Structure 1
């Protein structure tokens, strides 16, 4: 159990995809750093179970791609805590693996909608409020190795995560001069439900491990601590960056 600190000192942090995997790891670390955490996920049962392990958290069942409801969700979170959201972390995401020539376009569009359009729309909603109130903020997007490189049979995911890096740069250019820092984290291979298909293939798993100079796969906590850094005053001069947290994969 991580001892609670005051790095975030009561900040309101909204984490999407918080019911499992990297999102849950980030929500847990934010709470341990002193934040009040609103945990958003579309899976009600999974979210309720996860939130019980995050002290002081608020469980918010919601599908982030339901754009018409974004304003009400943020309203409910701010009403519950009696303060504006300081930080949003976009950890919700989906994946689909198909050869490019066989990729169903409806599935392709759905990946783009959830991974790219939804986080932009939520950041837009939160930033409008922060800018109107003159309140500083931190927006943290979750990219991927595919924000930088191509991996076979992931054309939709690669497009979405490459786009996320573009959104990070663009929003940082527009908002950082007005007090809102925008950054991203590009995880390497972290074992979660989303990536289990990779780890289930021993040959592929061994090949991937051989590419990592640190000699191990990541765990959600590796990503979570970087998210806390980006949400905190310790990163006050960091904006517009996509930080790889990959055990050295991209440097090898």
Structure 2
């Protein structure tokens, strides 16, 4: 039986760890990559022998090439989840923080996807790449620093990859998580009042979970999505479409007159 490999970056914690678990449950042999080797080894130990951990710096092309080269076969699924935040007002944002966010979130996505695609093409296997963007990449938010621009870049990079690699049987899509109660947002939602206020702004009435994101990623990576490429799917409970929910309305409008 042929082993089907999935590469998950940023798999040491948060959404990435949940993605690795879901991929293993779906029958993938998981290459779990993270800059924090200790963290990703702990995740792999929990998942079991179907998960192979590796410390990888996604911003370092030599590290990425070495990691792809260690795979016994080209991956069928690549999930670019590794990311960092550098929030703050643009007028106060350090240039080093700007570069760091772009380097991990955008350049790292490019390096991993391209290196994996080269091997997919060389072995004529096709496959799926799913890049993790954000609703901050679909709509700007004050104080988001370099995060918004880096994640918007992931959306356009996804479209670009889909156009260039489609002829090789490689589908490329992106997932844009919304207000997710996991990973980098743990500190934000530790405040009960923030949880209440933010949940109330989501049309579905709740914060998202890492499982919500993982289920969407695995769908896009499956044959059920065989005719979907170049798309960005917001997993956000409707919040990017809900701006008018907070607008004051005339009584006649509210009544539907």
The answer to whether TM tops 0.5 is yes
- 202-211 or 85-94: bigger deviation: 202-211
Shift of 1:133: 2.5
Q: Which of 80, 95, 99 is the equivalent residue of 1:105?
A: 95
- 53-62 or 111-120: bigger deviation: 53-62
**5+ residue gaps, structure 1:** 1-8
**Partner SS state of residue 58, structure 1:** strand
Number of the residue aligned with 1:38:
31
Number of the residue aligned with 2:230:
240
Once the two structures are superposed, the pairs formed by residues 198-237 of structure 1 within 5 Å of their partners are 198-237=188-227
Alignment partner of 1:139 is 2:132: no
Q: Which of 64, 73, 77 is the equivalent residue of 2:67?
A: 73
**5+ residue gaps, structure 2:** 243-257
Structure with larger Rg = 2
Once the two structures are superposed, the pairs formed by residues 174-189 of structure 1 within 5 Å of their partners are 174-189=164-179
Once the two structures are superposed, the pairs formed by residues 82-101 of structure 1 within 5 Å of their partners are 82-101=72-91
Q: Which of 164, 172, 177 is the equivalent residue of 2:154?
A: 164
- 46-55 or 93-102: bigger deviation: 46-55
Once the two structures are superposed, the pairs formed by residues 19-58 of structure 1 within 5 Å of their partners are 19-55=12-48, 56-58=50-52
C-alpha contact (below 8 Å) 2:74/2:123 kept by paired residues:
no
Q: How many residues align?
A: 240
Shift of 1:105: 0.4
TM-score w.r.t. the length of structure 1 is 0.91
Cα separation, 2, equivalents of 1:201 and 1:89: 30
RMSD: 1.4
Shift of 1:224: 0.6
TM-score w.r.t. the length of structure 2 is 0.89
Number of the residue aligned with 1:62:
56
Alpha-carbon displacement from aligned partner over 1:15-45 (angstroms, at most 9, x marks no partner) = 0000111111111101000000000011122
Cα separation, 1, equivalents of 2:26 and 2:3: 9
